[in-house]
Amino acid sequence: MSSAREGWNQYMHDFALEYPRCTILANGDSDCGSEGWAFTLFIAWNLLSMYIFANLFVGVVVESFYYVFQMSGGSKSITREEMRAFKKVWAECANAKTGYLERSSFVKFFGKLGGIFEVAIYSSEYKIPKILVRCAENQRSTNMWTSTVDGVDIDKLNATLSGIDRAATKRRKNLYNRLFHEARISHEPGKGISFTNMLLLLAHHKLIVDRDALV
């Protein structure tokens, strides 16, 4: 018996057959049903299964996913300011007419993301403009042995670059490559990737830990 399809009422009418539309044998055996009981039981079961049990099942599944998301810390990691910053970057990089992010703008978009959504290969403190400011030549220095090139103190530059965590940079690069590849897969020909799909993609890789979500 199926309560989610239109065929359930056919079974109900089969069980509602009464004499003389059914057979009663001499020994008392019969394949007759009861119209009252058939209508009552089938309609009650259909209401319970379709409108109550199905909704309860969906509610349990949704609540379970919500619990996993809460346990992963994802919902607590996003602030209103970060969402506003994300929308601002999207508005700068997406096509103003369609609202979709085109493939040619992926690199620009990923490079401008910050906060919880930051996916750049190098952290913000190691971006070229900040490195140049940090390693700028000190005009007041009296050290004659300081090596400079185009106003950049080479010793400071070497010290700054040596502080880069190579293992962390490799992980960030792998994440960037995965995001770029999956964004290309989600790219709709002639349009691009939608705001929702990009947000879900970033949330999956930046907020949710797969091994914790499967526990």
Give pLDDT tens digits for 177-202: 999 999 999 888 888 999 989 988 88
DSSP state, residue 148: E
Residue 137: alpha-carbon gap to chain centroid: 45
% of residues, the chain, pLDDT over 90: 19
Judge if 143 and 208 occupy the same domain.
Answer: yes
How many folded domains does the chain comprise?
2
Cβ–Cβ under 8 Å, residues 172 and 165:
no
Return d(Cα 187, Cα 141) in angstroms, integer: 53
Judge if 144 and 172 occupy the same domain.
Answer: yes
Last residue within a domain, chosen from 71, 86, 120: 71
Full 3-state SS string of 38-80: HHHHHHHHHHHHHHHHHHHHHHHHHHHHHHHHHHCCHHHHCCH
In this prediction, residue 1 carries a pLDDT of: 45
Judge if 121 and 47 occupy the same domain.
Answer: no
CA distances, 16 to each of 24, 41, 49, 114 (Å): 15, 11, 21, 67
Cis peptide before 129 (omega within 30 of 0): no
**pLDDT, tens digit (0-9, with 9 covering 90-100), for 159-183:** 888 888 889 889 989 999 999 999 9
Identify which has the larger pLDDT, 174 or 4. Answer: 174
| Terminal-residue alpha carbon distance, the chain | 35
Judge if 43 and 109 occupy the same domain.
Answer: no
Which of 125, 126, 127, 147 minimizes the C-alpha distance to 137? 147
Cβ–Cβ under 8 Å, residues 172 and 179:
no
Domain that holds residue 31: 8-71
Judge if 120 and 170 occupy the same domain.
Answer: yes
Judge if 50 and 112 occupy the same domain.
Answer: no
Identify which has the larger pLDDT, 147 or 44. Answer: 44
In this prediction, residue 73 carries a pLDDT of: 52
**pLDDT, tens digit (0-9, with 9 covering 90-100), for 18-77:** 777 788 777 777 778 788 888 888 888 888 877 787 788 787 776 666 555 555 554 456
pLDDT over 90 at 114, yes or no: no
169 is a domain residue: yes
1 is a domain residue: no
